[in-house]
Chains A and B, each alone.
Chain A
Amino acid sequence: MAAKMQFDLVSPERRLASMAVEAVQIPAAEGDLTAMADHAPLITTLRPGVLRIDGGDAGAEAAYFITGGFADVAGPSVTVLAEQAMPVSEVTATLMDGLISDARTAQDKLNSAEPGQPAAAAAAKLVADLEMVKAQLVG
């Protein structure tokens, strides 16, 4: 059995999870990464996606949907600070549609202001990421 490490998932409103786990799969800004015990210290920003936990407490949620934020990976512990987070089982199509349309509005505003800016590209990526998660989770 792999060594365990402390994992915390907190959103501004509450602490969602705090337990010993074997591995966490994190949707980092530049691609998914899996952190296990004694991972090199790393701070990364997150994109909207699904966070998966392996070897957590029995009965605890194993997958969470997060909308962004950042992760602080240090040897013995992983802390994910998510802007908004919820168990995957609570994700609904309406919720995703709301997030996507919010992101679209922001994208349109940026595009109309100054098209081709890095900010507009980032907004486009946000929309794409959200749509992918929606396809993955609620079909």
Chain B
Amino acid sequence: MPNLKDLKNRIASVKSTRKITKAMQMVAAAKLRRAQDAAEAARPYAERMQAVMGGLAQAVGASASAPRLLAGTGKDDVHLLVVMTAERGLCGGFNSTIVRKARQHAEMLLAQGKTVKILTVGKKGREQLKRDHSARMIGHVDLSEVRRLGYGDAARIASDVLGRFDAGEFDVATIFFNRFQSVISQVPTATQIIPARFDAAAPVEASGAQYDYEPSEEAVLEDLLPRGVATQIFTALLENAASEQGARMSAMDNATRNAGDMIERLTIEFNRSRQAVITNELIEIISGAEAL
């Protein structure tokens, strides 16, 4: 029979755990709202950007002078995987799902005999990928100091990636992140950012008007593509931030509920053993009295 004192301590400790998970859930809920607002606010820019670039890419795409960011290097031997995860854990399967997706992708590429390089954003992904792919990691971006994600952070990552592309370090770049669907559902997503891909179904300017380009179509596209990369990374970062808070919220909600169940069970056990102790004492007293 478990010791009464031990049980009591156990209950107290689970209760304080429940308080912590409950607080974390509420913090995550507040942060989630902010992250969602940020993602919402970034949407018009990203959508507009995609629409304009899509139209331009169709116009310029076929010509031989298309920028390398659009046309690619003509090879696809070296792949860069940009794996975006959280800086912190305790958010359910959030980090693992991204890492799993990236790992599958890497294994597929390796099986095809391609070279894989990995750039991690967020330390949780780095920790998980280090085990199998430490030789392939070429860099890491630390965002733990960043309190509010800004476009500047995305631009920094983008210029790092673009610098490596210009130096010929890779041919194809893909970003991995969790797309936010709802608090309980985040979808791990892989998006190819270099060379740029556009939905074929993207609505070309509804008016069908013939645009003038200043200075020229090529020059505008040349200017836009790096911005497009930064915008896509920014969007991914924001989606990821919202997903992280959503995942943490539901994980902490579950943890709080589990702690509640556990407290109930332990309390019942505690009461049972207390009653058993009392019954035992009574039996001892009665049998002692009878013996006289």
Q: Are B214 and A30 in contact (CB under 8 A)?
A: yes
Q: Are A74 and B214 in contact (CB under 8 A)?
A: no
Which residues of chain B are within 8 angstroms of A40 by Cβ–Cβ distance?
212
A15-31 interface mask toward B, CB cutoff 8 Å, 1 = contact, 0 = none? 10000000000001110
Question: Which one, B38, B151, B209, B220, contacts A84 given CB within 8 A?
Answer: B151
Q: Are A42 and B45 in contact (CB under 8 A)?
A: no
Q: Are A13 and B38 in contact (CB under 8 A)?
A: yes
> Is A81 interfacial (CB 8 A cutoff)?
yes
Q: Are B213 and A15 in contact (CB under 8 A)?
A: no
Question: Which one, B150, B205, B219, contacts A13 given CB within 8 A?
Answer: B150
Q: How many residues of B are counted as interface, with CB atoms below 8 angstroms from the partner's CB atoms? A: 30
Shortest distance between the CB of B170 and any CB in chain A (Å): 21
In the bound assembly, the distance between CA atoms of A118 and B38 in angstroms comes to: 36
Most buried by A among B46, B154, B214: B214
The A46-97 residues at the B interface (CB cut-off 8 A) are 69-70, 72, 74-75, 79, 81, 83-84
Given A15-B41, A41-B212, A75-B209, decide whether A70 and B151 contact each other with a Cβ distance below 8 A.
no
Shortest distance between the CB of B245 and any CB in chain A (Å): 18
Where chain B touches its partner, the secondary structure class is helix
Question: Which one, A10, A41, A70, contacts B207 given CB within 8 A?
Answer: A41
> Is B31 interfacial (CB 8 A cutoff)?
no
Given A12-B151, A13-B151, A45-B223, decide whether A29 and B52 contact each other with a Cβ distance below 8 A.
no
Shortest distance between the CB of A6 and any CB in chain B (Å): 13
Query: Which residues of B pack against A, CB within 8 Å?
Result: 38, 41-42, 44-46, 48-49, 52, 56, 150-151, 154, 205, 207, 209-215, 219-220, 223-224, 227, 230-231, 234
Q: Are A10 and B205 in contact (CB under 8 A)?
A: no
Which residues of chain A are within 8 angstroms of B154 by Cβ–Cβ distance?
12
In the bound assembly, the distance between CA atoms of A89 and B43 in angstroms comes to: 26
Which residues of chain A are within 8 angstroms of B234 by Cβ–Cβ distance?
12
Q: Are B48 and A75 in contact (CB under 8 A)?
A: no
Can you spell out 29 A-B residue pairs with CB atoms less than 8 angstroms apart?
Answer: A10-B44, A10-B48, A11-B45, A12-B151, A12-B154, A12-B230, A13-B150, A14-B41, A15-B41, A15-B44, A41-B205, A41-B209, A41-B210, A41-B212, A42-B214, A43-B52, A43-B212, A43-B214, A43-B220, A44-B213, A44-B214, A44-B220, A45-B215, A72-B48, A72-B52, A74-B209, A79-B48, A81-B48, A83-B227
Where chain A touches its partner, the secondary structure class is strand
Question: Which one, B46, B207, B213, B214, contacts A75 given CB within 8 A?
Answer: B207
Query: Which residues of A pack against B, CB within 8 Å?
Result: 8, 10-15, 28-30, 40-45, 69-70, 72, 74-75, 79, 81, 83-84
Which residues of chain A are within 8 angstroms of B205 by Cβ–Cβ distance?
41, 74
Q: Are A8 and B52 in contact (CB under 8 A)?
A: no
In the bound assembly, the distance between CA atoms of A72 and B224 in angstroms comes to: 12
Given A12-B151, A12-B231, A43-B220, decide whether A28 and B214 contact each other with a Cβ distance below 8 A.
yes
In the bound assembly, the distance between CA atoms of A11 and B231 in angstroms comes to: 10
- The residue in chain A whose Cβ has the minimal distance to the Cβ of B151 is A12
Which residues of chain B are within 8 angstroms of A14 by Cβ–Cβ distance?
41-42
Shortest distance between the CB of A17 and any CB in chain B (Å): 12
Shortest distance between the CB of A51 and any CB in chain B (Å): 16
Which residues of chain B are within 8 angstroms of A8 by Cβ–Cβ distance?
44
Q: Are A70 and B44 in contact (CB under 8 A)?
A: no
Closest 6 CB pairs of A and B: A44-B214, A12-B151, A41-B209, A14-B41, A42-B212, A41-B211
